[in-house]
Every structure is written in C-alpha cells, then in structure tokens.
Amino acid sequence: MKTFTFLAVFFFAFSLNAQISLNSDDIIGSGKVIELATDYTPDASVTPGLAGANQTWDFSALSVDDLETLLTMNPDWTPYSFFFPNANLVMYSTEDSVYMYIQNSTTALSMLGMYGTFLDSIEMPVIYTPPLILAEFPVQYQNHKDSDASFSFFMPISGIPGVDSAKLKMDVITTTDIDAWGTITVPLGSFEALRFYTVEESTDSIWFKMGGFWTFYTGEKDISYTYSWWSNDNATGYILVEFDYFAANDSVGEVTFLNSSPAQSIANRQTSSLISIYPNPSDNYINFDYDGESDAQLELFNNVGKLLLSKEINAREITKISMEKYPSGIYFYNLVGNNGNVISTGKFCKK
C-alpha cells in the first residue's frame, strides 16, 4: 500500500511538473527565416483531440502543398517603423509583401499593426487600436485571455452623389483559452506543447462620409474557431501547427505548420576577414575588397531578402558596385565560393 501511495504521489507530481510555460524569451527574435508549410487537404488523423492535461497529438501525416517564408527583422531595418514606434519585432511575409509589427515584452506579445498593399491597390499602414494581444506571459495551462482591437481603412470615393470618402472598419474580439498541454508530433519532430483555443469574432462595417459626417452603410459579422500549438523548445520559437475548426461537421480547414527550424537570415551571420567593404555607409558606390584564394560569386540583397545582384568577383581584387539605382537603406551580401558554400556574409548602409 505504501509503495502504491508513493508511486501515485510521484506520478501526480511528475504530471504537474511536465507541463510547460511560455515566456517572451521563447518567442523568435529578429534575423531569422521562418518556413511555413500548408496542407490544404489534411489527413483524417489531424483533429483537435481532447482538452486537458498530458494529451498526445500525432500530426505526422501532414504534407506540404505550399510553402511561405517569413523574415523576422529589427523594426529599424524597415522603412515604416515610424508608424509603430513601440514595435521591437517585425515579421515580413515574402508572399504578400506585408510587414507585421509586433511588441514582445515581458508581459505580453501584441500585434501593433501592418504595412502593405490592401484592398487590391492601396498601400497603407493598418494600426490596431488598441493593440491585439496575442499572448499574456507567462502562458500556462488553463490560462484565459480576452482581447479587443480595431482598425480602419480610408479611401476616396467618386461617382456617388454627396459621398466624398468611405471607411472600412474591422472590430476584432478574441477569447483564448490554453485548454490542453501534452506532446505533439509533426513532420519536424515531437515537442512538448501548449494548445491555444481561440474564438475570434470580427465585424466588418462600411461607412460613407456625407456632408462632413460618417454614416453607417452596411456590416457583416464572422466567427472563427482556431486551434494552435506552441512549444518552448529552442528549435521552434513560432507556432508549430494552426488550423480552423468547424464544429458543425467536426472537420478542420487547411493546416499551417512549421516546416523547419527557423534559420539565421543573412542579417544575422558573421562576416569573415576575407572581405572588407567601404565606404560604409556608402553613397552611390560600394567597394568589395576580396582577399580569397579563388574567385567567388557576390550576391546582394535588400532588407527584405530580395536578390538584387549576382556578380562574379575576382580573388585579391577590389570590385566596385554601383548603388545609384537603389534607395537609401540597409543591404546585405553573401559571398559564395565555387563549391556553393557561403564564404562570408555581412551588411552595409546606403545613405
């Protein structure tokens, strides 16, 4: 009897201690490349499962139908940081060309807004008022969080008598419960994780400005139910898996998952002593003084990772690159050897 009692207490204590918590340090930092995969028709084994402690989720059957790359940056590396002075992290979607400005503090992870092209053709900032709280730290099993946020688009209108502009407003109300913890298996591996269950109610409304006053025109409400899994494993730093759930027919929508561990971007690698660049900051030209034993390929990128130039440079020579047609900002380079390996990387600034 005493042995049974001891074992029961031991396993109870172990189950309490096995659950993880998330803090701001567990969130990915700047200078990383995140590769996200999407499975448009997930296997029937991909289901939310049960709520509660010590759960097991096997999502190893997920397949890659599409890939998307996110680049994480210091806001100072981006051209629109002045719209979001409190941001300390940016995620840039290379597919949508959208900058997402985030504040990661010791108490919360918050979305401050975005900058990109919206409504098909309008380039503008979208500022959440107040910020949308994604997580409150520390995140632990059975935590509950409510968050409200809103943002608006403004656009000129012509062709409607008496109307000079329109406003599209979105109000977002989210409720998140950390309703389970356990072990999740994905193509990347197995991880201890917390499950987030989020109910999001969004209301889109259109307003017309007539005679100097805003008048409500129409509105539409939508509710979504989302499950996502986060881990504090060093190999992650981002959402492991996320999908919408449709209770009416007990099904899941397309699944987005972390396809590989976030890697260092060119912004975070160290420059070797084989090459020196000057002047830095540069004006219209930048010199690459390469002291290698054999020729190499120079690759030049802008601050969102777009390849601008690929040029062969000779060993023990100075190569002069024109920057006249490029705007002011931060630029990055790779020096690639004949075997395809990166010899050196670095960055410079054009005034």
pLDDT for position 273: 66
Q: Residue 314 and residue 296: Cα distance in Å, rounded?
A: 7
- Which residues are paired to 115 by β-bridges? 99, 125
The model's pTM: 0.73
What would the DSSP string read from start to end of 2-37?
Answer: HHHHHHHHHHHHHHHHHS--B-GGGS--SSEEEEEE
pLDDT for position 245: 97
Considering Cα of 95, then 98, then 103, then 107, what sign does the dihedral take?
negative
Q: How many CA atoms lie within 13 A of 64 on its CB side?
A: 11
Q: Residue 288 and residue 123: Cα distance in Å, rounded?
A: 35
Domain 266-350 belongs to what topology? Immunoglobulin-like (2.60.40)
Cβ–Cβ under 8 Å, residues 288 and 298: yes
pLDDT for position 47: 97
The predicted-structure confidence for 73-84, as pLDDT tens digits, reads as follows 888 777 788 899
C-alpha distances out from residue 25 to 21, 57, 231, Å: 11, 25, 12
CB atoms within 10 A of CB 154: 13
C-alpha distances out from residue 159 to 13, 63, 163, 164, Å: 70, 48, 8, 9
Cβ–Cβ under 8 Å, residues 304 and 71: yes
pLDDT for position 11: 31
Domain 19-147+173-204+215-264 belongs to what topology? YmcC-like fold (2.40.360)
pLDDT for position 306: 77
pLDDT for position 2: 37
For the chain, give every domain's residue range: 19-147+173-204+215-264, 266-350
pLDDT for position 186: 97
331: phi > 0 → left, psi -120 to 50 → alpha, else beta; which? beta
pLDDT for position 238: 95
pLDDT for position 152: 87
pLDDT for position 255: 98
| Residues in the chain where the model's pLDDT stays below 70 | 1-18, 264-273, 304, 341
pLDDT for position 18: 53
